[in-house]
Amino acid sequence: MRIVFIGPPGAGKGTQAEQLVRTYELAHLSTGDMLRAARDAKTEVGQEAEQYMSRGELVPDELIVRIISQRLQQPDCRKGYLLDGFPRTIAQAESLDATLAAGGTPLDVVLEIRVPEEELFRRLAGRGRADDQPEVIRQRLVAYREQTEPLLDYYGKQGLLTTVDGLGSVEEVFDRLKAALDELAR
């Protein structure tokens, strides 16, 4: 299965991805995790990315497309993967579509996790990651609304979008996601 997660910061993408990749034996491709690892390793890419991440802005498309294209070629992706945090712009989605079409391996589903903004602030305030200060969270939400939300229409038109309510316990949300995936597999 080839799955994309879309949702605002704090929606629970990373949390749910951990359980889903175990259940369905998928590779977990989190662009946020990849960028934070590159930043911590002080690579050139990581240091460039940090300038954007610390402000709550998206890193440039060409940088992230390069990273993810290389990652998709790794052998563990052949059995399926969950893209967590990519694509986040129409340009990224078009690039992904072109790559997957060339390989004859289209996406199976795009799962949107929907959570109201006040709950996102509550969740992120309790986490304490470097980009979880209120001003940076606000900017991440602006980036989500302006650059990522248009993907809902983009994938909706392709008939790939399924929206899941992200409110409730981690287990409740997981059960909804699993039900959506099991329904697709029927």
List of residues contacting ligand AP5 (CB under 6 A): 7, 9-15, 31-32, 35, 52-53, 56-59, 64, 85-86, 88, 92, 123, 127, 140, 169-170, 173
What is the nearest approach in angstroms of ligand AP5 to the Cβ of residue 51?
9
Nearer to ligand AP5, 36 or 109 (CB): 36
Nearer to ligand AP5, 38 or 104 (CB): 38
Residues forming beta bridges with residue 4, ordered by sequence position: 83, 110
Both tokens of 14, joined, read 């990373």
What is the nearest approach in angstroms of ligand AP5 to the Cβ of residue 6?
9
Q: Which residue's Cβ lies closest to ligand AP5?
A: 32
Q: Catalogue the long-range contacts made by 165-169 (C-beta closer than 8 Å, 24 or more residues apart).
A: 165/114, 166/7, 166/11, 166/12, 166/113, 166/114, 166/115, 167/115, 167/116, 167/119
95: three-class secondary structure by DSSP: helix
How far apart, in Å, do the first and last CA atoms of the chain sit? Answer: 13
What is the nearest approach in angstroms of ligand AP5 to the Cβ of residue 101?
19
DSSP string covering 10-66: TSSHHHHHHHHHHHHT-EEEEHHHHHHHHHHTT-HHHHHHHHHHTTTPPPPHHHHHH
Nearer to ligand AP5, 7 or 20 (CB): 7
Nearer to ligand AP5, 45 or 160 (CB): 45
Q: Are strands 81-84 and 27-30 parallel, antiparallel or unpaired?
A: parallel
Residue 113 backbone dihedrals phi, psi, to 5 degrees: -100, 115
What is the nearest approach in angstroms of ligand AP5 to the Cβ of residue 90?
12
What is the nearest approach in angstroms of ligand AP5 to the Cβ of residue 186?
26
What is the nearest approach in angstroms of ligand AP5 to the Cβ of residue 180?
16
